[in-house]
Amino acid sequence: MDSSRPTEAIHPYLERVDELCALIERRADAVDTGGPANELLRDNIARLAEIGFFGLGVPKHYGGLELPEWVKCESVERIAAACGVTAFSQNQFHGGVGFVGNASDPRLRDELMPKLSAGAILCGVAFAHLRRPTGSPVTAKRADGGYIVRGKAPWISDWSMMHAFVLGAAIEETGQTLFAYVDRAESADRLIASPPMELAVMTASDTVSVEIDDLFVTDAHVLQLCAADHMERSDYRGITGHVTLPLGCARGSVAFLRGLGKPLFAEAADCFSTEVESIRSDSLHWNASRADDPQYRQNALRVRAGAVSVALRAAQTSIAGGGGRSHLLVHPAQRRLREAGFYATMALTADTQAALTEAFTHGC
């Protein structure tokens, strides 16, 4: 994260985001209950692409807007306040943009980045399985001119919306980590997707598991070849990189509480709002650049758990404020409670699991 965020988050791009968020928020409950990859979610993603959202941090020579990181984080918070699944889906697609932007082969970057930046290619991600302590269920074996990849990727969101995805695999011979760009159309005969999972949250994200049947990935489509402990290191440096969605969710609840128009809930909204500001500021401080500081791990984990905790508590308070109607399936308070619970498991590691358990058991 960028620590150069101004105190007042003012930027012309945010006005465009706000305009779109007004529509996204009006649709949020319909998107949430509209089934996997419903038309409204697709339209939200298309409208984000139209305002250059997937090229927000992309260099201008690739057609991106090249805006500072804080503008992206603030935009994502606002989207997450409006609609969790739209925020989650864009998060996965931004993950694809980030990986291709860091591809070791400049030819791959030059070919794909303009299309990714414009949202003409939507590229998801499938690598959470690399974190499994029992070993990656997706493996790769060296072959002439590339790798043969096989196994089962247990989670891939936005399946029917994406044109491509970043696939993580452990290389059998060396244990190294391979990240490959997989074009769905070109690989269709090697990918067998499950039906969309029946989920209590993020149903619209069209999350599936995918069997990979001896998929040949050419060297030209290798994004990165990394050391065996790459995920562990990258998770360690990125502990506070996952606070944006829960903080946005908490902001949505803060607005809901204020809208109730009662001093009790206005006071609660003020408390949660102050907490959101403080956690955001701490997350900017305890970012990857401080990963070598002996205080980093403890503080970064506290910040991560704090973000999920404030999202959950603000949503619970909204339920109390909203009364019995909060339990209608299309009520924003319980939708946000489900979303906040989901953020507890995003990019989960043993460390974040322990920090969350500590926060939920004893308070932050």
Tell how strand 164-171 and strand 123-126 pair up. Answer: parallel
Nearest distance from residue 346's CB to ligand FAD, in Å? 5
User: Judged by CB, which is closer to ligand FAD: 149, or 156?
Assistant: 156
User: Judged by CB, which is closer to ligand FAD: 330, or 350?
Assistant: 350
- Binding residue for ligand FAD, selected from 49, 112, 156, 269, defined by CB under 6 A: 156
* CA torsion through residues 244, 247, 249, 255, sign: negative
Separation between Cα atoms, residue 323 and residue 166, nearest integer Å: 43
Binding mask 101-140 for ligand FAD (x = CB under 6 A): -----------------------xxxxx--xxx-------
- Binding residue for ligand FAD, selected from 38, 75, 92, 177, defined by CB under 6 A: 92
User: Judged by CB, which is closer to ligand FAD: 260, or 346?
Assistant: 346
Q: Residue 159: which of 135, 127, 125, 113 has the closest Cα?
A: 125
Site size for ligand FAD (CB under 6 A): 24
| DSSP class per residue in 44-80 | HHHHHHHTTGGGTTS-GGGT-----HHHHHHHHHHHH
User: Judged by CB, which is closer to ligand FAD: 38, or 92?
Assistant: 92
Residue 157 binds ligand FAD, judged by CB under 6 A: yes
Separation between Cα atoms, residue 333 and residue 275, nearest integer Å: 19
What are the residue ranges of helices labelled H in the chain?
12-33, 39-50, 69-82, 84-101, 106-118, 184-187, 230-237, 244-259, 263-285, 296-322, 332-343, 350-362
Q: Any idea what DSSP says for residue 349?
A: -
Nearest distance from residue 244's CB to ligand FAD, in Å? 15
User: Judged by CB, which is closer to ligand FAD: 9, or 347?
Assistant: 347
Residue 335 CA to its chain's centroid (Å): 17
Site for ligand FAD in 194-233 (CB under 6 A): 199, 202, 205, 207
Which parts of this chain interact with ligand FAD (CB under 6 A)? 92, 124-128, 131-133, 154-157, 199, 202, 205, 207, 345-350, 353
